[in-house]
Structure formats: C-alpha cells, structure tokens
C-alpha cells in the first residue's frame, strides 16, 4: 500500500459512492414494487383469483431478459434476480391468500393435534378460517363431542399407532365426514380407514415437515380411497396454499417411498455413523473441500439435526422397508472383493454400467447441482 496516488483513491471513493447511490435507488424501487404487489393481491382476493400466474411470470422474465441484452447485461443474471423477486412476491401473496377457505364454515378435527405435525395443520386450517378442533391422547373421554358435526378428520399420529387410532375413532365420525391420514405409508392406513369408516376416505402424504414455513410448491401425495368428489375440497385447499398434488395409488406410493425415504435416510445414517466412529475432523475437512462436499456433508449433518424417533419410524416402518435395507447392505458388501483386489478395471466397468442406467438423468443432475453449487459459493 506504499506509494498511494491520492487522485485515484479519491476516484475510487467517488465510484463507490455512486454505486451506493444506485443501490439505494434499487432498494427504493423494490419497496415500491412490493406495495404495488400488495394492491394486486387485494384485487385478486376480492375477485377470487389464483395468486400464481405462470404465464405472467414467464412474460415478465422474457421482457427483463430482452432489456438486459439491450443494456449489455447478462440475461441469465437478470433472470436469476427476477426469479427471486417473483418468488418473494408469490410467497407474500400466498401468505395473504392462506386465510381463504375452500369450504368456508367447515369443521376440521386434527387427531394428534398436539404433536408437532398436528399443530402445524391446526395452524394452517385455523389460519384459513376453518373451525378447528384438536384432539390429543388425553381427550378420548370427550371423543363424541369432538367428532360431532365435523366435515374432516385428519389422523396425524405415528405410523405404528395410525391403524389403531382409525379403528377407535371411526364409530364417532359423522357418515359424511372425510377421513384422512397424513403418515408416510399409505397402504395400511388406507385399508384401515376404508374398513372402519363408511364415508369419504382419502390418504395424504405431505412431503414436508412442520418446519416448512410456506406450502408453496411443496408436494402432497394423494391416494384416493372412497367418494373422490366429497374429498376434492381437501385437495383443493392444499392447492390453494400452493402445494403440488401428486395422485397415486397406495401400493405405488409405498414402493417408491421405500427408496425415497427409507433407503435414502438409512444410507445417510450409515455414512454419518462411520464419520462419527472415525472421529473425522469435520470443520477441517470443510476447509479442504469443494462446495459440493459441503453440500453433501450438509445433507448428512441435516439428518442428525432432526428427530431420531421420526427417522426410526420412517426407516423401520414396514417389514418391506427393513428387507430392502438388508438387501442394500448386501449390495454394498459385494464391493469388498473388488477393493481387496484393488481392481480398478472392474470398478470402471461397473461404474459405466450404472452410468448407462442413469442415462440422461446424470446430465440433468450435473446441470442442476452445478447451479446449486454456484448458489453455495455465492453465499459462503
């Protein structure tokens, strides 16, 4: 820093002041924009219009990309900024629309409403203006009164207790009430509901936890049971909250979840288990690492920041799941010999066979994860 020319230092300060002034104007404009968006929401709400308007969003993006090109800016850069700006506006709109009920005046009973997930649903349904009753394990003396006149009963208890609770509560349900559960397996609960209740039945599996602050684009799997028309408003309510509904039958759902939940979480568990056993110096490994390792290690750390009972339940839920995991351990162990021989050629052959099976998904994954790695670099 010796030999500093005072003139260029002053120039640099001037430039920085100008940049600061520009940034202030940008934030001012974003604040104005938010106010206009609030007016749009008020209009939409008054006229029962959907918040999310994909075509309008894409038009807006195209216009900004075009303008970026003309101004000598990178269009991807401007698109990236505008995706955030629009998501912000969507989340705010959804938050304000959340108070809207698809079936105004309906009464909803949440069984297990004192649990974490139960309380979450209590909040959402109450927020939308439904009459919500919450039932905990100490409320069975009062079950008849709690069930009287309800339009929807949501069973939100642990997987292993779900069939028993369904059987116990069903005699008290009004025949026209929709009965639904929200566990992560669907076959057994759906069968139990169809057996115990003669009215409308719907299996739901919301693929998010109680820490999710917005339902925007969150997935809910719906497995129809009986009288789909009578159940439709429940599905519509989740749609209005911004969720994406995936229709499936209970058998397909359960098979897919064996992989998506049980296998995946078990593999992550086993990896973290080994890191802990070897006392790997996590912080130092992060200093030595590419952003993608940070991401992968984060996925492992994330698991162990959550509830052990929840994961025990997910992993051990069904005999099918446990059998799959045993198969997985067998599959991992098959590589022992190859490692003992240090057989690179065999590894490459096996690798290429698997790559072929992954096919175009590999390329897509590469693109998506590269995008996320950039995000990670940006932030940390």
Per rule CB under 8 A, is residue 210 in the interface with a copy of itself? no
CB neighbourhood size of 163 (10 A) = 19
Candidate residues 58, 142, 144, 217; the one interacting with a copy of itself per rule CB under 8 A = 217
Candidate residues 26, 99, 144, 145; the one interacting with a copy of itself per rule CB under 8 A = 26
> CB of residue 114 vs a copy of itself: minimum separation in angstroms?
21
Candidate residues 87, 100, 168, 226; the one interacting with a copy of itself per rule CB under 8 A = 87
The span of 119-127, 129-137, 175-183, 303-311 binding a copy of itself (CB under 8 A) equals 303-311
Q: Contacts with a copy of itself in 27-56 (CB under 8 A)?
A: 27-34, 36-37, 39-40, 43-44, 46-47, 56
d(CA 133, CA 142): 12
Q: Which is nearer to a copy of itself, 106 or 240 (CB)?
A: 240
Per rule CB under 8 A, is residue 377 in the interface with a copy of itself? yes
Q: Which two tokens stand for residue 340?
A: 């003992």
Q: Contacts with a copy of itself in 331-350 (CB under 8 A)?
A: 331-333, 335-336, 339-340, 342, 344-345, 347-348, 350
Three-state secondary structure call for residue 110: strand
Q: Contacts with a copy of itself in 152-191 (CB under 8 A)?
A: none
Per rule CB under 8 A, is residue 358 in the interface with a copy of itself? yes
> CB of residue 98 vs a copy of itself: minimum separation in angstroms?
17
> CB of residue 162 vs a copy of itself: minimum separation in angstroms?
16
Angle in degrees, 0-180, between the axes of helices 264-277 and 308-316, rounded to the nearest 10: 130
Taking Cα atoms as reference points, which of 25, 24, 21, 1 lies closest to residue 13? 21
Q: Are 102 and 160 in contact (CB under 8 A)?
A: no
The span of 103-111, 119-127, 232-240, 355-363 binding a copy of itself (CB under 8 A) equals 355-363
Q: Which is nearer to a copy of itself, 63 or 144 (CB)?
A: 63
Binding mask 88-127 for a copy of itself (x = CB under 8 A): x---------------------------------------
Q: Contacts with a copy of itself in 259-298 (CB under 8 A)?
A: 259-260, 263-264, 266-285, 287-298
Per rule CB under 8 A, is residue 245 in the interface with a copy of itself? no
Taking Cα atoms as reference points, which of 180, 118, 124, 114 lies closest to residue 150? 180
d(CA 276, CA 374): 29
Give the 3-state secondary structure of 197-231: CCCCEEEEEECCCCCCCCCCCCEEEEEEEECHHHH
Taking Cα atoms as reference points, which of 245, 243, 242, 244 lies closest to residue 93? 242
Binding mask 313-332 for a copy of itself (x = CB under 8 A): x-xx--x--x--xxxxx-xx
CB neighbourhood size of 238 (10 A) = 20
> CB of residue 161 vs a copy of itself: minimum separation in angstroms?
13
d(CA 131, CA 91): 25
Candidate residues 78, 128, 169, 182; the one interacting with a copy of itself per rule CB under 8 A = 78
In sequence order, what DSSP letters do the residues of 32-73 get, joined into one string?
A: HHHHHHHHHHHHHHHTT--S--HHHHHHHHHHHHHHHHHTT-
> CB of residue 243 vs a copy of itself: minimum separation in angstroms?
12
Rg of the chain over all Cα atoms, to the nearest angstrom: 26
Three-state secondary structure call for residue 248: coil
Per rule CB under 8 A, is residue 380 in the interface with a copy of itself? yes
Candidate residues 198, 207, 226, 233; the one interacting with a copy of itself per rule CB under 8 A = 207
């Amino acid at each position: 820093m010796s030999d500093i020319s005072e003139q260029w230092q002053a120039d640099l300060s001037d430039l920085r002041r100008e940049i600061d002034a520009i940034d202030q104007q940008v934030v001012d404009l974003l604040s104005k924009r938010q106010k206009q968006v609030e007016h749009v929401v008020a209009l939409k709400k008054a006229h029962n219009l959907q918040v999310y308007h994909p075509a309008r969003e894409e038009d807006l993006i195209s216009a900004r990309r075009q303008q970026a090109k003309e101004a000598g800016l990178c269009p991807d850069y401007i698109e990236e900024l505008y995706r955030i700006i629009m998501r912000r506006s969507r989340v705010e709109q959804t938050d304000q629309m959340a108070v809207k009920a698809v079936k105004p005046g309906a009464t909803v009973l949440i069984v297990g409403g004192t649990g974490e997930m139960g309380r979450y649903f209590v909040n959402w349904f109450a927020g939308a203006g439904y009459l919500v009753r919450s039932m905990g394990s100490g409320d069975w003396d009062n079950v008849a009164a709690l069930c009287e006149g309800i339009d929807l009963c949501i069973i939100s208890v642990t997987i292993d207790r779900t069939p028993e609770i369904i059987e116990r509560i069903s005699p008290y349900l009004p025949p026209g009430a929709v009965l639904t559960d929200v566990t992560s397996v669907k076959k057994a609960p759906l069968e139990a509901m169809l057996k115990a209740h003669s009215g409308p039945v719907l299996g739901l599996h919301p693929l998010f936890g109680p820490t999710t602050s917005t339902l925007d684009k969150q997935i809910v799997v719906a497995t129809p049971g009986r009288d789909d028309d009578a159940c439709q408003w429940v599905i519509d309510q989740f749609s209005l909250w911004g969720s994406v509904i995936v229709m499936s039958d209970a058998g397909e759902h359960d098979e897919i979840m064996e992989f998506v939940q049980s296998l995946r979480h078990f593999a992550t568990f086993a990896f973290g288990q080994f890191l802990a056993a070897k006392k790997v110096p996590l912080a130092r490994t992060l200093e030595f690492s590419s952003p993608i390792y940070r991401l992968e290690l984060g996925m492992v750390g994330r698991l162990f920041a959550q509830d052990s009972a929840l994961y025990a339940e997910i992993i051990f839920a069904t005999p099918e799941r446990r059998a799959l995991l045993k198969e997985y351990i067998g599959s991992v162990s098959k590589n022992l010999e190859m490692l003992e021989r240090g057989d690179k050629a065999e590894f490459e052959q096996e690798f290429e066979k698997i790559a072929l099976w992954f096919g175009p998904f590999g390329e897509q994954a590469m693109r998506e994860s590269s995008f996320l790695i950039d995000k990670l670099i940006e932030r940390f």
